[in-house]
Amino acid sequence: MPIPLDNFEDAINHWQMEHREPYPRYSPNQIREIGDNLVLLQHNNGGWVQNLDPARILSPTEVQQYQAQKSDVTASFDNRNMFAQIEYLLGVYSQTNDEKYRTSALAGLNYTISQQMPNCGGWPHTVPATQSYHSKLTVADEVFSGNLRLLRKISTRQAPFQSIDAQTRQRVTEALNRGDECLLRLQIRQNGVLTGWAGQYDPVTLSPSQGRKFELPSIVSQETVEVLRYLMSIETPSSAQIAAIEGGIAWLQRNRIMGVRYETFETGETTQFQYHATSQDRRLISDANARPLWARFYDLGDNSVVLATRDGERVAQYSDIPRERRTGYSWYGYWPQRLIETEYPRWQRRLRR
């Protein structure tokens, strides 16, 4: 039976952005072949590097190259990495009973637990750090919420995690409790009022921190949405978790942008930048009929929109960002819309039952 590759969508997209030529891929029902890829791509310490396509059909030379990289200690939780591999491998095990997939998944799980930060139960971006933001406690790209979701599924014995032994499940539950507590501590308060979450935090002080140069310390709407989705998935939330959800939703509702449309348009000329090529540009257009829009970043103090150049200079207008960053990054979007209009009311109804 096919196992969805949805958790790998971000990784696959990044791989294909860097490798634009078509390449052969396994079909979704070839779960053994995809599982074998994940076992091959896993390093000896249990971790994986990010942004690989697990369904890519590898040549014999590529297989040898990845085998030679087994001793590499690099691993990353970025772009929904690690929890995706663990869940997929256990899904393959549940269908095949082939122990190698379960062994690989458990190695990945042990690595994940080992990398949980000691003073607060979050995770870094990449180990070992080669960029300034790699060692930060990371919420961005579901590093925090994705790992917590994985741990919660294991702790509550959801499919395909039923084969996890009781001792490992106890360690998972302890890590989950530490992470849940930490997540609430990280929610930003403005004059005592709960708001959203930052993308990165200093691992010692737990204050909001800068990611890449253009990702200034701020409250991030997109990451807040994913944290709220995780919290809303908890079957019996605590009063503190309920307050966190209500505070986050209220903050998103207060900071929606009305009367503005986020538009992508053709320029008629393709430009090659360092990391992408595009014939498009983006702009904000006044439109009284536009649906609610959100900025990605909001000021920690006054909730003004935070925009920046690749060099980290904060600018006042979207048009002040050079085209390379306008088209290579999503500064505005509709991430909270479904959460607010559909998922949150459904959660409220479930809570009242």
- In the chain, pLDDT over 70 holds for what percent of residues? 100
Task: Please give the pLDDT value at position 353.
Answer: 81
Is residue 93's pLDDT more than 90?
yes
Q: What is the mean pLDDT of residues 209-223?
A: 97
Q: What is the mean pLDDT of residues 222-244?
A: 98
pLDDT-derived band at 274, boundaries 50, 70, 90: confident
- Confirm if 184 and 212 have CB atoms less than 8 A apart: no
Task: Please give the pLDDT value at position 203.
Answer: 96
Task: Please give the pLDDT value at position 293.
Answer: 98
pLDDT-derived band at 76, boundaries 50, 70, 90: very high
Q: How far is CA 61 from the centre of its chain?
A: 31
pTM for the structure as a whole = 0.95
The rounded distance, in Å, linking the Cα atoms of 334 and 327 is 16
Is residue 277's pLDDT more than 90?
no
Q: Please give the angle made by the CA atoms of 216, 218 and 219, to the nearest 5 degrees.
A: 150
What stretches of the chain show up as alpha helix (H) in DSSP?
Answer: 9-18, 31-41, 60-68, 83-96, 99-114, 143-155, 166-186, 221-232, 239-254, 323-328, 336-338, 344-352
Task: Please give the pLDDT value at position 230.
Answer: 98
Is residue 269's pLDDT more than 90?
no
Helix-, strand-, coil-residue percentages of the chain, each rounded to 5: 45, 15, 40
The SS3 call for residue 153 is helix
Average pLDDT of the chain is 97
pLDDT tens figures, 133-151: 999 999 999 999 999 999 9
- Confirm if 3 and 31 have CB atoms less than 8 A apart: yes
DSSP 232: H
Q: What is the mean pLDDT of residues 281-306?
A: 98
Task: Please give the pLDDT value at position 26.
Answer: 98
Task: Please give the pLDDT value at position 42.
Answer: 98
Angle between helix 221-232 and helix 344-352 axes, rounded to 10 deg: 30
pLDDT tens figures, 164-193: 999 999 999 999 999 999 999 999 999 999
Task: Please give the pLDDT value at position 275.
Answer: 79
Domains of the chain: 6-186 (1.50.10.20), 191-353 (1.50.10.20)
Task: Please give the pLDDT value at position 61.
Answer: 98
Q: What is the mean pLDDT of residues 206-219?
A: 97
Q: What is the mean pLDDT of residues 298-315?
A: 97
